[in-house]
């Protein structure tokens, strides 16, 4: 049953990918990305993480070796995930659980990253990657990405559909 569900979800995401030009989903502020320092840290046990110190601007740390192993596109998803934490100001909140923060950061990344990036994370999570007590099971994360991305595309309304149709007309 879970395999069947996986196939259905994958098919739906593939359709979104085919009918959505790369970049159409980028709606976030590029300005916000440029204001945050990204720093390589070979000792970081994860691909990426937000690092905060009192009185200082938060920094996004990433491990270039783990990033390389994960692959550029998947690593990019993790980058968006960390920006999600920052945009949602998780480092300033203590009223929600870490698990909830991780779910929100996944959803944020799913609606702000280019679809090919979300797709790479979707495949990785669907195969069990990305599981942790805080992030949840990989398959749950995959389903979360799909639902967030799909509702984001649908919420764009007629203008979004028109742009998608124009893209398809050019592509074929
Ligand atoms: Zn996170």
Looking at residue 155, what is its pLDDT?
A: 76
Distance 32 CA to ligand 1 centre (A): 18
Distance 167 CA to ligand 1 centre (A): 33
Distance 168 CA to ligand 1 centre (A): 34
Give the pLDDT confidence of 23-72 residue by residue, as tens digits. 443 334 444 555 789 999 999 999 999 999 888 899 999 999 999 999 99
Domain, as residue range, for 97: 2-171
Which residues, 6 or more positions from 110, have their beta carbon under 8 angstroms from its beta carbon?
118, 144, 145, 146, 148, 149, 152
| Alpha carbon 135 to chain centroid, angstroms | 13
Give the pLDDT confidence of 90-122 residue by residue, as tens digits. 988 889 999 999 999 999 999 999 989 999 999
Domain count, the chain: 1
Distance 63 CA to ligand 1 centre (A): 15
Distance 142 CA to ligand 1 centre (A): 15
Which residues, 6 or more positions from 133, have their beta carbon under 8 angstroms from its beta carbon?
none
């Amino acid at each position: 049953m879970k395999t069947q569900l996986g196939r259905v979800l994958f098919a739906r995401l593939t359709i979104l990918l085919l009918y959505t030009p790369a970049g159409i989903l980028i709606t976030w502020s590029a300005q916000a990305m440029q204001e945050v320092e990204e720093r390589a840290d070979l000792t970081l046990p994860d691909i990426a993480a937000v690092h905060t110190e009192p009185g200082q601007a938060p920094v996004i740390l990433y491990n270039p070796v783990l990033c390389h192993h994960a692959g550029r596109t998947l690593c990019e998803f993790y980058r968006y995930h960390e920006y999600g934490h920052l945009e949602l100001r998780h480092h300033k909140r203590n009223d929600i659980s870490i698990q909830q923060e991780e779910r929100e950061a996944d959803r944020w990344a799913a609606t702000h990253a280019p679809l090919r990036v979300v797709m790479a994370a979707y495949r990785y999570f669907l195969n069990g990657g990305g599981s942790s007590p805080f992030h949840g099971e990989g398959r749950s994360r995959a389903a979360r990405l799909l639902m967030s991305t799909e509702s984001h595309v649908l919420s764009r309304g007629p203008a979004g559909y028109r742009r998608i149709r124009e893209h398809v007309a050019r592509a074929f």
